Amino acid sequence: MESYWRKQTNSLPPDGNSEAAAPGAEKGNDVPYDVIVVGAGMAGLLTAYYLKESGRRVLVLEAKTVASGQTERTTAKITSQHGIKYSTLIQKAGKKRALLYAKANEEAILSYEKLVKKEQIDCQFARVPAFLYTRKEGTVLREEAKAAASLGIDATFTTETELPFPVEGAVRFGGQAQFSPLEFLRHIAAGFEIREHTMVRAVHGSQVLTDAGVFLAENVVAATHYPFRNVPGFYFLRQHQERSYVLALSGCDDIRGMYYGVDEDGISLRQAGDVLLFGGGGHRTGEAKQCGAYEALLEKAKYYYPDCREVARWSAQDCMPHDGIPLIGRYSVFTPHLYVATGFQKWGMTSAMVAALLLRDELCGVENPYRKLFSPQRLCVRAGIRDFLTDVGMSVKGLVRGLFCRPRCPHMGCELEWNPQERSWDCPCHGSRFDEDGKLLDNPAKRDIENW
Ligand SMILES: Cc1cc2nc3c(=O)[nH]c(=O)nc-3n(C[C@H](O)[C@H](O)[C@H](O)COP(=O)(O)OP(=O)(O)OC[C@H]3O[C@@H](n4cnc5c(N)ncnc54)[C@H](O)[C@@H]3O)c2cc1C
């Protein structure tokens, strides 16, 4: 289903550069690039932009088309407010790391603002406040407001919101932002070489193997949402994927702020031009056992906005790392020229900017204050031991069932679950998805289901 952004933004580059627009080239390029970025989503394109700005020769390889991954299905809130984050981080990772996380994400908002101004991008970028809210008991949010404020964020506790229902409490972050992501990327992607329809199959040293030939690069960045290589790196043991659903609605009262409900049935809201984006119904990928997610959202929306009309509906998924911190940096200690950006936990706008700036610095030999915090080499098992054990359990169950049941996921062989809502086969272990004919929809799998 087409997202509101895709309906609004028909064509994205590459469209003028014949070199970039040559899908299915039979031969690769034998002049090494300084950096090949794999994946043309928000993370890949921002990384390529800043590397090119620093004088590097960059190529982006994209399996489908520009921004056709999760980025076109985002709700595009640019915020350091990532759910109940700061009280949890202070408790689990310590105040020093929580402070770095807050600073990195606040700086990311500013970096978007500077970039939009510098490039004069018409993408409805606007500074707006962000709110977390609860309809239950406000104590947790009071704590969150206190924790975030102690880290220098403009955070306050309030019970006043623009929502069409009363709340027990809310945390307001000032100075956050929103934009139209594809309008933004239309401009950003016009500046460098991109090859669409070029799936990267493997990376061996400086060789990037694709169906269109072998490309050479000094360094490679995997900005593929879910990393494409299992070993080394073991990202399949370090995160799982979760989906949620979004409606774009006309005929609602306008709101100025961006809202995120922390209760189990909480909804996410933001204004985008004339429509209201109304999201919710999150669950682990592979656990959609029945239809009705969109209908439940629409019913809720109609309750609060009786005159609303659906303009678009879509869903998306994101990677959830166990310790709640994205994995950005060197892919593994055994792959010195391969880098990664993943684990954005449904907050990939600021995380993609953090990744782009960090990877630019790393690849240009500049010290970055956030390198250690986001390093994929950090030990994160202790902070997220419960999620780690759950994910290992799910993988073992999926693999064992995959020995006896069909269809199996081509990624690692786990049994796939039928998703009646979206008529797809979804992997509960690692989140790959396929349409009803077995055609690949979402990674980490890199090919369609065969022989089933
Ligand atoms: C419902 C929902 C709402 C969200 N709303 C927000 C929000 O309001 N604010 C926010 O900050 N975040 C939000 N997010 C998260 C955000 O949308 C994502 O984190 C972000 O878009 C991920 O960007 P990406 O570049 O990492 O991945 P993607 O956009 O998925 O890009 C990865 C690209 O890599 C390509 N690729 C994959 N494998 C290969 C390969 N082997 N070879 C070549 N190319 C390959 C894919 O085709 C894809 O184009 C939301 C997420 C969900 C699920």
Q: Each residue of 235-249: pLDDT tens digit?
A: 999 999 999 999 999
- What pLDDT is recorded for position 401? 80
* Integer Cα distance of 287 and 217 in angstroms: 39
Smallest Cα–Cα separation from 184: which of 41, 82, 80, 281? 41
Fold of 125-177+238-319: D-Amino Acid Oxidase; Chain A, domain 2 (3.30.9)
Q: Is the CB of 344 under 6 A from ligand 1?
A: yes
Average pLDDT over residues 360-377: 97
Residue 104 in this model has a pLDDT that exceeds 90: yes
How close is the Cα of 444 to the center of ligand 1, in Å? 12
Contacts of residues 120-123 at CB distance under 8 Å and 24 or more positions apart, as own/partner, are 121/183, 121/184, 121/187, 121/188, 122/183, 123/179, 123/180, 123/181, 123/183, 123/184, 123/187
Q: Whose CA is nearest to atom 35 of ligand 1?
A: 39
Q: Do domains 4-74+183-237+324-374 and 125-177+238-319 have the same CATH topology?
A: no
Going by pLDDT thresholds of 50, 70 and 90, the confidence category of residue 19 is: very low
248 phi, psi to nearest 5 deg: -105, 125
Ligand 1 pocket residue status of 41, Cβ below 6 Å: yes
19 Ramachandran zone, left/alpha/beta (phi>0; psi -120 to 50):
alpha
**Domain segments of the chain as ranges:** 4-74+183-237+324-374, 125-177+238-319, 385-442
Superfamily of domain 4-74+183-237+324-374: FAD/NAD(P)-binding domain (3.50.50.60)
Q: Which of 182, 180, 176 is nearest to 105 (CA)?
A: 176
Indicate the burial class of 451 (C-beta count within 10 angstroms; 0-12, 13-18, 19 or more): exposed
pLDDT score recorded for residue 381: 58
Both tokens of 430, joined, read: 């690692």
Is residue 314's pLDDT more than 70?
A: yes
Rounded (10°) CA dihedral 61, 67, 73, 76: 120
State residue 405's pLDDT score.
79
Report the percentage of the chain scoring pLDDT > 70: 95
Which amino acid, one-letter code, is at 451? N
| Lowest mean pLDDT across 63-72, 288-297, 323-332 | 288-297
pLDDT higher than threshold 50 for residue 23? no
Helix (H, G, I), strand (E, B) or coil at 211: coil
CA 47 to ligand 1 centroid distance, Å: 14
Q: Is the pLDDT of residue 21 over 50?
A: no
Atom index in ligand 1 nearest the CA of residue 64 equals: 47
User: 312 near 7, Cβ under 8 Å?
Assistant: yes
- Whole-number Å distance, alpha carbon 306 to ligand 1 midpoint, is 33
Residue from 79, 109, 313, 346 to probe ligand 1 pocket by mutation (most atoms less than 8 Å from CB) = 346
For the ranges 19-28, 116-125, 422-431, the lowest mean pLDDT is seen at: 19-28
- Rounded Cα distance, 177 and 171, in Å: 16
Helices (H), 364-433: 371-374, 385-404
Its pTM stands at 0.95
pLDDT in tens, 209-227: 999 999 999 999 999 999 9
pLDDT at 272 over 70: yes
What is the position in ligand 1's atom list of the atom closest to the CA of 349?
A: 11
Ligand 1 geometric centre to CA of 309 (Å):
27
> What's residue 166's pLDDT?
96
Q: What is residue 444's predicted lDDT score, i.e. its pLDDT?
A: 96
Mutate to test the pocket of ligand 1, among 6, 68, 71, 199 (most ligand atoms within 8 A of CB): 71
Q: Which atom of ligand 1 is nearest to the CA of 71?
A: 21
Tell me, using a 6 A CB cutoff, whether residue 59 lines ligand 1. no
For the CA of 446, the closest atom of ligand 1 is: 41
Task: Find out whether the beta carbon of 229 lies less than 6 Å from any atom of ligand 1.
Answer: no
Q: Does domain 385-442 bear CATH number 2.102.10.10?
A: yes
Per-residue pLDDT of 46-72, as tens digits, reads: 999 999 999 999 999 999 999 999 999
pLDDT in tens, 167-226: 999 999 999 999 999 999 999 999 889 999 999 999 999 999 999 999 999 999 999 999
Nearest CA to ligand 1 atom 21: 71
pLDDT, tens digit (0-9, with 9 covering 90-100), for 114-160? 999 999 999 999 999 999 999 999 899 999 999 999 999 999 999 99
Local confidence band at 15 (pLDDT 50, 70, 90 cut-offs): low
pLDDT band at 392 (very low <50, low <70, confident <90, very high): confident
Mean pLDDT value across residues 420-448: 95
